[in-house]
Amino acid sequence: PKRTQFTMAGGFGGMPFDDALWTNGPRPGGFYQARPASKAKPAEPSSRTTQPIVTGTSVLAIKCSDGIVMAADTLGSYGSLARFRDVERLCSVGDRTLVGASGDIADFHAIKHMLGDIETQNAEWDDGHPIEARSVHTYMTRVMYGRRTKMNPLWNTLVVGGFTAEGEGYLGYVDKIGVAYTDSAIATGYGSYIALPIMREAVDTNPNLTVAEAKPILERCLKVMYYRDARSLNRHQIGVATADGASITEPTSLETNWDIADFVRGYE
């Protein structure tokens, strides 16, 4: 059989040569010319948050026989400056779960977005299963530990509480490196030093403490915090989770008495 001769002028069998077919290679009969490697712009070094900027102080919570009670003030401190006085650090997840946060406010907003995604996914499933406090607590332990292992932690300490399907309260703690536990009384920040003893005494004295009885105890602790914690504010919210659902009050203030200041000595 007769072979078709290829020529640069006429292509195969006299057909014209189409350059578009060879845009990424050499022309027939030519040599492939390797392109010089492009000098990519060096990437910016990755950065991590090394310290929180705007922060919130303690979160207090007590597990009761008929639910849980959680409290936190509304101050966002910029270092030692009481910069933002209307920062809400309690949020609800689902119908019967509350989450409170100490630490970086911006990171807490990121966490709220994550929890909002959980609510959206649960609504899309529409299988009749509510979001349980135990599930939220477990999820946040994985999130916090996962971010810690990437050396990019969320600078928060979280308290997760709610009323379970078994008819009892649930109260859990998780910090920025994933350390987690459950307890009947939990306080974060400076409150773990000066408020937690008051709360534990109340729980040990009355193991069947009710939500109505726990509220005045937390209000007393908030007042002690305002007296002694320089990063606290006399404006707070109290959240309650019971069989009837979860609710968070509007910010309120407590009546204080600064006559006690006359007894403070040694700081002149």
**Residues taking part in catalysis:** 49
How many residues can be counted in the chain? 268
220: exposed, middle or buried (Cβ count in 10 Å: 0-12, 13-18, 19+): middle
Phi-psi region of 50 (alpha: psi -120 to 50; beta: other; left: phi over 0): alpha
- Number of Cβ within 10 Å of residue 124's Cβ equals 8
| Residues 163/68, Cβ–Cβ less than 8 Å | yes
- Rounded CA separation 193/58 (Å): 10
| Residues 222/236, Cβ–Cβ less than 8 Å | yes
